[in-house]
Amino acid sequence: MTTYVLVHGAWHTGAEFEPVAAAIRAEGHTVHCPTVAGNRPGDSKRVGLEEAIASIVDYLAGNGLEDVVLLGHSYGGMVITGVADRVPERIRRLVYWNAFVPNDGEALNDLVPPHYVALFDAVSQASPDNSVVLPFPIWREAFINDADLATAQAAYDVLNPHPYATFTDKIRLSKNPAEMELPKSYLYCTEDCALPQSLGWHPRLSEKLGLFRLIAIPGSHELCFTDPGALAGGIMKAGRD
């Protein structure tokens, strides 16, 4: 059986992956859902991308994890790309779930449309600690579009302010994802409109992986809330050999 490590996106913690993890564990696999530095309760919101990456590198080492299928969601794609650069020997396959794919020197903000950068700039500057939150209407309409209002609201209530430096820091990689020798998959939820689909996750970002396996399933950017079982199924198709 396989060891999965699921790395959440911005504003989330590992806890939101637990219903998904349960469905994967039911098939006999081992699943870890760590929370990235900057999103753990009590963390400084001035954490940068390098610290975020290091926190998952440390998690793998601290738990003696090897041969893992390492999944990143959204911002988590920045994190797992850095982890794959630092400790490729611990990884069996990378899975990007509607996730950013950076080349060396790119920041998350380089990969989103200008209206998001302007929004994040404004929100972070109004915060006491350079953190960003997502306005509810954007969350409800563009991130969790497949939910009913109660689910959208309940999910929004568990989000935490995100350390903005992790969006503006440029990643440092010794090689770009397309050149990494690890097997790679892109799990694409086809109704995801968190990025405009004309400037979206797939194929714009997925194709930066070079050779990769595409798995496509219906659902929004936040399928972890709206259908954890379907997401678990997609993850296992993306993560198997």
Q: Determine phi and psi for 151, rounding to 5 degrees.
A: -65, -40
CA pair distance 128, 181, nearest whole angstrom: 42
Q: Which is nearer to a copy of itself, 180 or 215 (CB)?
A: 215
To the nearest whole angstrom, how small is the minimum distance from the Cβ of residue 108 to a copy of itself? 20
What is the pattern of x (binds a copy of itself, CB under 8 A) and - over residues 166-185? Answer: -----------------x-x
Residues 47 and 4: their CA atoms lie apart, in Å, by: 25
The CB-of-213 to a copy of itself minimum distance in angstroms stands at 4
213 binds a copy of itself (CB under 8 A): yes
Q: Is the separation of the CB atoms in 101 and 209 below 8 Å?
A: yes
H or E element in which residue 59 lies = helix 49-62
Helix (H, G, I), strand (E, B) or coil at 96: strand
Pair of tokens at residue 57: 């590198």
190 binds a copy of itself (CB under 8 A): yes
How large is the angle between the packed helices 76-86 and 49-62, nearest 10 degrees?
60
Instruction: Decide if residue 27 touches a copy of itself (CB under 8 A).
Output: no
98: left (phi over 0), alpha (psi -120 to 50) or beta: left
Backbone angles phi, psi at 86, to 5 degrees: -80, -45
**Which x/- pattern, by CB under 8 A, does the window 219-238 give for a copy of itself?**
------------------x-
Q: Which is nearer to a copy of itself, 162 or 184 (CB)?
A: 184
Quote the DSSP letter at residue 171.
Answer: P
Give the whole-angstrom CA distance, residue 166 versus residue 46: 9
Q: Does 117 bind a copy of itself (CB under 8 A)?
A: no
149 forms part of the interface with a copy of itself (CB under 8 A)? yes
Among 212, 232, 234, 235, binds a copy of itself (CB under 8 A): 212
* Cβ proximity to a copy of itself, 1 vs 198, nearer residue: 198
Q: Is 1 in the site for a copy of itself (CB under 8 A)?
A: no
157 near a copy of itself, judged by CB under 8 A: no
Helices (H) and strands (E) in the chain, counts: 9, 8
Task: Name the minimum Å distance from CB 50 to a copy of itself.
Answer: 30
**What are the residues binding a copy of itself (CB under 8 A)?**
137-138, 140-142, 145-146, 148-149, 183, 185, 190-191, 193, 196-198, 200, 202-204, 207, 211-216, 218, 237, 240-241
